Amino acid sequence: MGPDPAVATVRLAVRRVLADLPPGAMVLAACSGGADSLALAAALAFEAPRSGRPAGGVTIDHGLQDDSAKRATLVVRTLADLGLDPAGSVAVDVGAEGGPENAARIARYDALDEAARRLNAAAVLLGHTRDDQAETVLMGLARGSGARSLAGMPPTFVRGEVRGEGGVRYHRPLLELDRETTRRACQAMGLEPWDDPHNDDPAYTRVRVRHDALPALENALGPGIPAALARTARMLRDDADALDEFATRAYSELTEREHDALFAQSEHAPAEHPRSQAAEENRPVTDETQGADEDAPGEGQRSVEGEAVVVLGVEGVADLPRAVRTRVLRMAAIEAGSPPGTLAAVHVDEVDRLVTAWRGQRRVDLPGGVRAFRRCGRLLFGPG
């Protein structure tokens, strides 16, 4: 007789991920002690030896509860009993950046990165399920985010990659499975999961989505909402990946095209003047452009232009579909030093107006002290 169907399902998901990893490479399971990560760790302990790979487990002690160290010790013991070696815990200091959930996440991933590098692990497996994915999509929808955010959590990703090397690879084998499956798997294997009290604390957004928003949606629209949201995320991820690829290509072509042309110009080439540009585009000179004339810089403009680190041709950017164009503008801003975490859609939209609705606007100030401005048919991104 074979294993319980839930156990077999979790093991199959892990087996598929292991098949894509280098033979003989160490694999780690990140385990909180909850049902999802515990089922994952047990499946890895079963599958790794059969694929000729060493496997270990690590738990992160966030120090957010009085007995967190004791809990971490119990999880380590369970991991060792499953046959994972090495099995250990890492204590972290959780800061305050971005709220408690985000701060704990930052500390957790930093610790996992360090553990994976120290043990030379080929991958770290995470226990996120389809239900987690649905919650992530709903939270992205509530923020009014774009396709990339609504695409939810990717099944695999790399952190800390520098020029294609040195990154830590993460996999989410259970992203197509629901929580009920992992709970049944733990029960069938005689494992007792730990239920983190934070998972029932309504102070956390994800908890409110889990216990209030999703049940309300299923009440109103019928069952299967988590599966539908996860399916939507998968399709949006495919779309977002394609658009990102198109944008990367376009960005490379546009920057290469402008590089030689920009620096071949005389250092004293005249700046693009709002009045002449309006005439060029057959638009009347409005009060707005007249006002911009007062700010038409001379030497100061040339010095800022000389410091610009990214240059794009306005005409080439304008020819791009909006979904690609805004991605290109975001890439340019980030390349110039604007932090991705604080560069919002509203900032990119204002830069886009320099391309599609230009009426002599002087500049757009972006996070990180970066400024975008339009001169001589070009968009320049540089220090403010």
CA 193/CA 147 separation, integer angstroms: 35
Known binder of ligand: residue 35? yes
Known binder of ligand: residue 185? no
Known binder of ligand: residue 201? no
State phi, psi for 203 to the nearest 5 degrees: -65, -20
Helix, strand, coil percentages (3-state) for the chain, rounded to 5, are 55, 15, 35
Tell me the HSE value of 250 on the side-chain side, using a 13 A CA sphere. Answer: 27
Known binder of ligand: residue 34? yes
How deeply is 212 buried, as exposed, middle or buried, from its count of CB atoms within 10 A (0-12, 13-18, 19+)? exposed
Known binder of ligand: residue 278? no
CA 91/CA 93 separation, integer angstroms: 7
Token duo for residue 272: 């693009």
Which among 277, 177, 268 has a CA at the least distance from the CA of 227? 177
Tell me the HSE value of 337 on the side-chain side, using a 13 A CA sphere. Answer: 14
Which among 128, 127, 186, 119 has a CA at the least distance from the CA of 153? 128
Please enumerate, by residue number, every residue annotated as part of a binding site for ATP.
32-37
Please enumerate, by residue number, every residue annotated as part of a binding site.
32-37
